[in-house]
A = this chain, B = another copy of it.
Amino acid sequence: MKILVTNDDGPFSPGLAILREAVKGLGEAITVVPETPKSATGLGLTLHKPLRVNRITSNDDFIYLVSGTPSDVIYIAMNVISGKPDLVVSGINIGDNLSVQVILTSGTIGAVLQAAIEGVPGIAFSAAVDSPEELEEGEYRNFILRVTRLVTRIAIEEGLPKGVDALNVNFPPIIANEVVITKPAVKRFSTSVVKRKDPQGKPYYWLYGSPIEAEKGTDVHAVLEEGKIAITPLSISNVFSSVPVSIENLVNKIRMELKKQS
């Protein structure tokens, strides 16, 4: 069992330290992460410039550093460092990764979705905390460590069911014992833009997301309102095959007019 450990927060995140500790003994683990934080890079790949690979020593073990995104990490790890892994675990992210909006933008989840495209199952772990310090020590850290290890071990023992490519695991901001299977909300944040002026008087803009009210029955509600551990199954092959209605009428109109033109 070859386990690739990665994240989008870089080598110095306390979430990475927990994840590395959690998988110890469950297989042959290798850690490869972006050399700098790459939050919100989604499934982005670096194709327009080359990548560098370095490594540092941490707890008698190596952490490999890639000068790119979490998705770059997947390909560099597979092709340069360790060969194809049997499982990718990603995180533990500082901040939740709930809702379609956040799932598709998250680098933590981007890594496991990119691995899923390569046929490698993955588990993304995220904790609904505001700062890295909350994962540095204490009861809450122990809770995250214990459940991360448990989920990873059982996923290895049982395997993911056919058709499920990855699990998106989100921890509430409090210690919890209840685990629920969730579907993602569409949206988690209302995005606004803050305008400021630099010392020269020229404008610059910050993107900023304010939480919106969580709808019942969604991953956001389960974690943030009910305080439960949420597991959302992710499927790559079905991701865009489940459009609920047909576009036949629309396309027929296009076909008719195309025919007239030609």
Which residues of B sit under 8 angstroms from A214, Cβ to Cβ?
Answer: none
Option from B40, B113, B181, B207 in Cβ contact (under 8 Å) with A251: B181
Which among A16-24, A46-54, A57-65, A131-139 touches the partner chain?
A46-54
**A161, B233: Cβ atoms closer than 8 Å:** no
With A and B bound together, what is the CA distance between A206 and B258 in angstroms?
42
Chain B: CB-nearest residue to A104:
B43
Chain B: CB-nearest residue to A209:
B47
| A72 on interface, CB distance cutoff 8 Å | yes
Which residues of B sit under 8 angstroms from A242, Cβ to Cβ?
Answer: 235, 238-239, 241-242
Which residues of B sit under 8 angstroms from A183, Cβ to Cβ?
Answer: 240-241
Option from B80, B164, B249 in Cβ contact (under 8 Å) with A247: B164
Chain B: CB-nearest residue to A196:
B50
**B117, A113: Cβ atoms closer than 8 Å:** no
**A105, B50: Cβ atoms closer than 8 Å:** no
Option from B47, B51, B258 in Cβ contact (under 8 Å) with A147: B258
Chain B: CB-nearest residue to A158:
B250
| A1 on interface, CB distance cutoff 8 Å | no
With A and B bound together, what is the CA distance between A149 and B247 in angstroms?
18
With A and B bound together, what is the CA distance between A205 and B187 in angstroms?
36
**A245, B207: Cβ atoms closer than 8 Å:** no
With A and B bound together, what is the CA distance between A48 and B105 in angstroms?
14
Option from B53, B161, B179 in Cβ contact (under 8 Å) with A254: B179
Option from B158, B236, B247 in Cβ contact (under 8 Å) with A253: B158
**A100, B239: Cβ atoms closer than 8 Å:** yes
| A103 on interface, CB distance cutoff 8 Å | yes
- Per the 8 Å Cβ criterion, residues 216-262 of A in contact with B are 231-251, 253-255, 257-259, 261-262
| A39 in contact with B48 given A104-B239, A240-B100, A251-B181 (CB within 8 Å) | yes
Chain B: CB-nearest residue to A69:
B44
| A117 in contact with B146 given A204-B52, A235-B240 (CB within 8 Å) | no
With A and B bound together, what is the CA distance between A236 and B71 in angstroms?
21
**B240, A244: Cβ atoms closer than 8 Å:** no
**A243, B235: Cβ atoms closer than 8 Å:** yes
- Per the 8 Å Cβ criterion, residues 149-203 of A in contact with B are 150-151, 154-155, 157-158, 160-164, 167, 177, 179, 181, 183-184, 186-187, 191-193, 195-196, 202-203
5 closest residue pairs by CB, A with B: A242-B242, A42-B42, A79-B193, A163-B244, A50-B204
